[in-house]
Structure 1
Amino acid sequence: MNPLAFAALDLPEPVRRGIGDAGFVTATPIQEAALPLALRGKDVAGQSQTGTGKTAAFLIAAFTRCLSHPAPARSGPTAPRVLIIAPTRELVVQIEADARLLGAHTGLGILAVYGGIDYNKQREALREGCDILVGTPGRLIDYLKQHIWSPARVEVLVIDEADRMFDMGFIADLRFILRRLPRPEKRQSFLFSATLSFRVMELTWEFMNNPSQITITPQQKTAEKAEQVLYHVGREEKFNLLLGLLRREGGSRILIFSNTREEARRLEDRLGRNGWEARALT
């Protein structure tokens, strides 16, 4: 079966031009599954790994909706039409870059808010207004509580990497924002996650409107000789477990992943103080 060509989709010309600028010709599996549903106005909950094209899928759908519906008159604080929530600064920056490329011809204002850069400068940029707002939960809440922006007119909601929202402890912040949006039937919503676990599906049941569920199986399998082990431990036990595993497994080349650069630096320091030569790459 041939992959879906973007030319076969009913897309506004400015969106087609952005797709052309990005060099896209045919859809990836997640795009082929999600876009026809999204373009019909359906909510979508998709299970898909990073790098599968999910960002382009929800951006194309969001741009198309904005261009197909007249923008409401603005009054009061900034009221974005599209709200995209992601768990990390790096992901927010990448989504913003993709949005600027794909949306270059749409005339829609795109803004990202996240930690690590000038707080006041970002706040003033948000005060000036935008159509597409991308942000991390914490920074979005900061500006929301200051009434710099309002979620009252959000037409499209995107939650990206929902499973990591739980893993990184952002779920309370996420719910705080979601409870202030228009009701699910008054907006279109997209959720993407590496896994559609029960806790992730609870989000869809509470904050989405009968979403279509899509699962894309990863093409890359774990190498046959790679052993995988999962340990369920409390936060305070993790480092002692790590030390025990290092002593047991030995070896001179060990790669440890962490969720944040701050955690990577803390691990470098703690491992050094316990006799392990380590370097953090951030």
Structure 2
Amino acid sequence: MTFENLNLIEPILKALKTEGYSNPTPIQAKSIPLILQERDLLGCAQTGTGKTAAFSIPILQLLHGQQSTEGRGKRPIKSLILTPTRELALQIGESMESYGKHTGLKSTVIFGGVPQRKQTDALRAGVDILIATPGRLLDLMSQKYVDLQHLQIFVLDEADRMLDMGFVNDVKKVLKVLPEKKQSLFFSATMAPEIMKLADTILVDPAKVEVTPVSSTANTIKQAVYYVKGPDKRKLLLHLLNNEEMESVLVFTRTKRGADRVARDIAKAGVTAEAIHGDKAQNARVRALNNFKARKTRVLVATDIAARGIDVDDLSHVVNYELPNEPETYVHRIGRTGRAGASGIALSFCTADETPYLASIQKLISKNVPVVDNHPYPLTAKDFAEAASTIKEQKQKGGRGGRGRGGNRSAGSGNSGRSTSANSNRPAGGPRNGGGNRSNGNRSHSNASKANA
């Protein structure tokens, strides 16, 4: 299937051709016709599947068809796209500009953390499509800069992250002022009960589209895990960065302070690196992301929330410096590479006490992540034994400890194969996961193709 098969108008097809797009992704092929029919839509798709274009393209087409019937004067806001992070808002704004460059429609992005003057000037001039984060939107609504009474299309994007970040009350405040008659589009990477409850308050008889469940990882992404002590993670990362094929690397940490520390350590070693997280000034975040996209910066270190919306061409590697305690987050993280059918590489560092997290991840994705044994900073049997003892004590005390979802059970342990000399020191139910898929040093990722966004 091509975009021509979706009955798109020539101005949009021309823009897509300029961007090098010819074939829609599954979420685009399924969603665009339904949205063009002016149906409400409930879409479930993980990061990297192309859902921004899935709603941006049909919105542009629907609004473009109205322009000839409109009189002159200030443009009323006809579409609102609500999204949780500044980075994602900017990405959507860039997409709208790219796909709509020949339509004559105007869009703008508003978000907090920066002076509002430039944003309010754009609103005064009139825009057709408004992309906003919840806090700044409510602020400018209270100042009477935003009028939504003429709204026709509402999009709630990354709904699961909205809830994670505590924006649900802000979303409800926005919903109260929207016109009752409108087309609503709801996108989320997961569909937990609380997400469905929110969707039910927004959508009317929606069409439902589900593509690539969150439990799956793209086959084009080569995954590997390195068992390593916490203090040795920095040295292991620098060792891996000696591989020149790691051209563009997105590193994930759990905390903002951790992101700053890792970026600082990498930079001291002579590798260009910057950190991006919620405590950074907006200008600094935009600059860091632009430097990374332009390949001025080789390594970008990010927290999970800040990374939502990072869309980088040819991202060769994702590195989980720290494994997430929620296995779905792992899928989101590594989905930053291997996008839209391209290939990519995801490497994870795992300490002995992080093995429950790895077990939960492997259970979710229904596969064992291959283990790289041959590296300079391997764990010992003593490390695993001490970690197992600590986890056991914490469980007996009723604490969660370092346990991820799925507990201390090994995913797929019955299929991990017999112990070999390379993994015989590992405790059962922990690092033997993937033992039958061992890789040898940097060869586990040196020959993989680079990712394409």
TM, length-normalised to structure 1:
0.77
1:264 aligns with 2:259: no
Match for residue 233 of structure 2? 253
Matched to 1:252, the amino acid is D
Matched to 1:264, the amino acid is K
Change over 3 Å in CA distance of 1:178–1:257 after alignment to 2: farther
1:127 aligns with 2:92: no
Corresponding residue SS for 1:179? helix
Distance 1:155 1:21 in 2: 28
1:147 aligns with 2:139: no
Matched to 2:17, the amino acid is G
Distance 2:260 2:19 in 1: 39
Match for residue 97 of structure 1? 94
8 Å CA contact 1:83–1:158 kept in 2: the answer is yes
Match for residue 295 of structure 2? none
Corresponding residue SS for 2:131? strand
Count of equivalent residues: 244
Matched to 1:213, the amino acid is K
Structure 2 residue corresponding to 1:10, chosen from 7, 20, 27: 7
8 Å CA contact 2:148–2:177 kept in 1: the answer is yes
Match for residue 169 of structure 1? 166
Match for residue 195 of structure 1? 190
1:211 aligns with 2:206: yes
**Seq. identity, %:** 36
Map of 1:8-157 to 2, 5 A cutoff? 8-70=5-67, 79-157=76-154
Change over 3 Å in CA distance of 1:225–1:112 after alignment to 2: closer
Matched to 1:178, the amino acid is L
Change over 3 Å in CA distance of 1:175–1:43 after alignment to 2: same
Matched to 1:56, the amino acid is A
Corresponding residue SS for 1:27? coil
TM, length-normalised to structure 2:
0.49
Structure 1 position 191, deviation (Å)? 1.3
Structure 1 position 118, deviation (Å)? 2.2
Match for residue 272 of structure 1? none
Structure 1 position 135, deviation (Å)? 0.8
1:119-164 Cα offsets, whole Å, 9 max, x none, are 2222222122100100100000011111111111111111111100
Change over 3 Å in CA distance of 1:226–1:116 after alignment to 2: same
1:101-131 Cα offsets, whole Å, 9 max, x none, are 0000010111000123222222222122100
Higher relative contact order, structure no. (Cα contacts within 8 Å, ≥ 6 residues apart): 1
1:57-110 Cα offsets, whole Å, 9 max, x none, are 1011101110223566688x9731010111000000111011100000010111
Corresponding residue SS for 1:191? strand
Structure 1 position 256, deviation (Å)? 5.3
Distance 1:257 1:267 in 2: 6
Structure 2 residue corresponding to 1:281, chosen from 275, 278, 296: 275
1:216-273 Cα offsets, whole Å, 9 max, x none, are 124427988869xxxxxxxxxxxxxxxxxxxxx6452177535xxxx6148868xxxx
Matched to 1:29, the amino acid is P
Pick the structure with greater CA Rg. 2
> Gaps (5+ residues) in structure 2?
235-250, 262-272, 277-453
1:173-205 Cα offsets, whole Å, 9 max, x none, are 11111111111xx21111111101111111221
Change over 3 Å in CA distance of 1:220–1:147 after alignment to 2: same
8 Å CA contact 1:38–1:61 kept in 2: the answer is yes
8 Å CA contact 2:259–2:275 kept in 1: the answer is no
Matched to 2:232, the amino acid is S
Distance 2:174 2:72 in 1: 20
8 Å CA contact 1:160–1:192 kept in 2: the answer is yes
8 Å CA contact 1:82–1:131 kept in 2: the answer is yes
